[in-house]
Amino acid sequence: MTASQHAPLTIGDLRGSRRRRQRELIIRSAFFLAAATAVLISLLIVLTLIGEAISFITRVDPAALISGSWRPRADSYDLASLIAGTLIIAGIAMLVAAPLGLGAAIFLAEYATPRVRRTIKPILEILAAIPSVVLGFFTLTVLSPQVIDRFCPGSTPVFNMAAAGVAVGILITPLVASIAEDAMYAVPNSLREASYGLGARKRMTSLRVVFPAAVSGIVAALIVGLSRAIGETMIVALVAGGVGGAVFNLNPCLPGQTMTAAMTAQAIGSDQAAGGLAYSSLFFVGFVLFVMTLALNLISERFVRRIRSAY
Amino acid sequence: MADAARLRTPATTAAVQRALEGHTRPWSEYIFQGLLFMALLISLGFLLWLLGDIFIRSLPVWTDRGVGGFVGSNLSSDPLKAGIAQGLFGSIVLMGIVVVLVLPIGIAAAIYLEEYATDNAVTRLLNTTVRNLAGVPAVVYGLLGLAVFVAIMKPVDGLNNGRNLLAGGLTLAIVVLPIVIITAAEALRSVPKPIREAGFGVGATKWEVVRSHVLPYAAPGIFTGVILTIARAFGETAPLLLVGAAAAGFGQAANATVFERVFGPYTALPTTIFSWARQPQEEFKALTAAAIVVLLAVVLIINAIAIILRNRYERRW
């Protein structure tokens, strides 16, 4: 029997040696620094965007901002024509992706056998990983000349906003389907059983019970899809026909330009020296795009939080 | 007694059964189910059509030049000589930079957010920031790369005014960092509390618990997430165009050193595809398709590996 066995144990004994505590502190700080890089990056993004955007606004001729076309080389910076192009293409994309994506999601969550679901779900996820430049090439060579041009007679062949919109819609369909399916699959079975118990058929149960119960997840899926459609670049850069600049235009069968593609078009078009007005205009467009997608993300996050608290 | 006997006749049983089952399902039920199935078929069908069309279009390149002849050749304005050697080299170096940067930083950030952070204002700010960064369009990160990384390297790297693979890799790393943090945090969150408590119970410190108890169980999920992210980075095009990956062909001596390849003009596989897709000559269509087949092969194989890993090591608690 040694004396130490009878000595009362103090908090100090439990805290361990000083070296051990120091090591813990160092590791903890390193992890915190890693997490803080995320904030640092967003600060950098916001600062660079705002700095150059302000420099653009102060130097640009106000008349150039409402000139009716976006042609940086001709010193016309009409943001409205970019926003029109962006909204038209994203709108067409949603017209394609919402019915297809939600239809596929309801089928997988409510109708498909577990085996079919287990097979299709990974395929959807893999298809969602196809790079957009690939879909852009396919649209250029097949979708636009063979399909879209039939519905847009007398328009600008191949290079138009309708083709870009449909292609973006196909691109985001697996994403929308996957998120919406997760939301519907998470609806507890007791709700479905209650509905069947009241004599409802499958269609009634899917549309009037499961769909409303999962509505926040479904809305979130649509908003994430919309945000992706607005941020989509490569399909538009290849197909929308606005590489050399675009005039303000609301007809989807004609060429147009989006904010994203306007940025790449300038980056590949010419070798502008830093400090030029065209260079600053990139950041101005980027800032508007950043604010739009940030707003959409914040809204969708609110909806996702609601679904989490529900079940 | 007589009533009960009458109730049990086969005719009444059938009547009751019919009433309970309803009549045959109305047509609207079938039509609705058919429409849903169509939606699924169309979404899958379009993408399968894409894969089939591009593969068939690429066949002449494989038969005429062979895999080595196409993959081993440099960019060229002559469609008979052009290949993807520089693009593939660029993409592989870029992925290397992304993995080296994102793997430690992403996992460390996720560990902090899930294991160390207490629920306070700072943590909430970090969480919101990470989630919102994941939703920022990749092309915006290209602007950041242009204004920060390219500008920093410009005075140092005279070969291409700072538009080098390092700037491209840093930009891509920032594009995917938030996604890695989110997926790694999800994997850590799925490890149940009692596992950690077992570690604390025998006197382990926080780091010891994380290292020996949490990470081993979370590792498959973390690595699946990282692998999927790399597949995404591999096909990312827009940010690279903004930080100056060459969209057109560039001259590079066949005996260029690795240093010149990393710090001089560069291109990546997706940017090569983009520039070829814009070529008006018909011959470039087959080349583009062939380059896409290589890109898709890499992306789809990486994805398949991740899904197999996930199915194999998935653990239900």
Chain length of chain B: 317
A20: chain B residues, CB-CB within 8 Å: 205
- Cα A288–Cα A260–Cα B125 angle in degrees, nearest 5: 50
Q: Side chain identity at A195, as an amino acid letter?
A: S
Domain ranges of chain A: 15-59, 63-310
Question: For domain A63-310, which architecture applies?
Answer: Orthogonal Bundle (1.10)
Residue A61's pLDDT is 82
Greatest alpha-carbon pair distance for chain A in Å reads 101
Interchain contact, B144 vs A41, CB within 8 Å:
yes
A202 touches chain B (CB under 8 A): yes
State the ipTM, two decimals: 0.86
User: Could you report the per-residue pLDDT of A251-300, keeping only the tens digit for each?
Assistant: 888 888 899 988 888 777 644 445 578 888 889 999 999 999 999 988 88
Torsion angle of the four alpha carbons B117, B122, B127, B128, in this order, in degrees rounded to the nearest 10: 170
Q: Name the token pair of B187.
A: 């994997």
Best residue in A47, A141, A234 to probe B by mutation, most B CBs within 10 Å? A234
Interchain contact, A48 vs B148, CB within 8 Å:
yes
Show pLDDT as tens, one digit a residue, over chain A (311 residues): 444 556 777 777 767 788 888 899 999 999 999 999 888 888 888 898 999 899 888 888 888 888 888 888 777 888 888 999 999 999 999 999 999 999 999 999 999 999 999 889 888 888 888 999 999 999 999 988 888 888 877 677 788 899 999 999 999 999 999 999 999 998 999 999 999 998 888 999 999 999 999 998 899 899 999 999 999 999 999 998 877 778 888 888 888 889 998 888 877 764 444 557 888 888 999 999 999 999 998 888 887 777 655 55
User: Could you report the per-residue pLDDT of A99-130, keeping only the tens digit for each?
Assistant: 999 999 999 999 999 999 988 988 888 888 89
Split at pLDDT 50, 70, 90, the class of B26 is: confident
A283 touches chain B (CB under 8 A): yes
Split at pLDDT 50, 70, 90, the class of B82 is: confident
The gap from C-alpha A140 to its chain's centroid, in whole angstroms, comes to: 23
Q: Are B76 and B87 in contact (CB under 8 A)?
A: no
A40 touches chain B (CB under 8 A): no
Q: Are B145 and B170 in contact (CB under 8 A)?
A: yes
Q: Are B269 and B94 in contact (CB under 8 A)?
A: no
Best residue in B31, B46, B161 to probe A by mutation, most A CBs within 10 Å? B46
Of A122, A238, A293, the CB nearest to B277: A238
Q: Name the token pair of B293.
A: 């087949």
What does R_g of chain B's alpha carbons equal in angstroms? Answer: 28
Q: Are B172 and B98 in contact (CB under 8 A)?
A: yes
Q: Name the token pair of B223.
A: 């690595």
What's this model's pTM, rounded to 2 decimal places? 0.87
Strand partners, A247: A69
Considering chain A, what is the average pLDDT of its residues?
86
- Could you identify the residue written with the tokens 């989006």? A258
Of A170, A234, A298, the CB nearest to B274: A234
Q: What is the mean pLDDT of residues B164-169?
A: 90
Of A267, A286, A294, the CB nearest to B132: A294
Best residue in B136, B281, B296, B311 to probe A by mutation, most A CBs within 10 Å? B136
Strand partners, A70: A77, A246
* pLDDT tops 50 at residue B11: yes
* pLDDT tops 70 at residue B252: no
A126 touches chain B (CB under 8 A): yes
Interchain contact, A129 vs B303, CB within 8 Å:
yes
Q: Name the token pair of B159.
A: 């070969």
DSSP labels for A38-76?
Answer: HHHHHHHHHHHHHHHHHHHHHHS-HHHHTSSEEEGGGTE
CA distance B186 to chain A (A): 14
Torsion angle of the four alpha carbons A224, A228, A229, A234, in this order, in degrees rounded to the nearest 10: -170
Interchain contact, B299 vs A297, CB within 8 Å:
no
**CB contacts < 8 A (A, B):** 255
Residue B69's pLDDT is 81
Q: Are B169 and B94 in contact (CB under 8 A)?
A: yes
Q: Are B205 and A24 in contact (CB under 8 A)?
A: yes
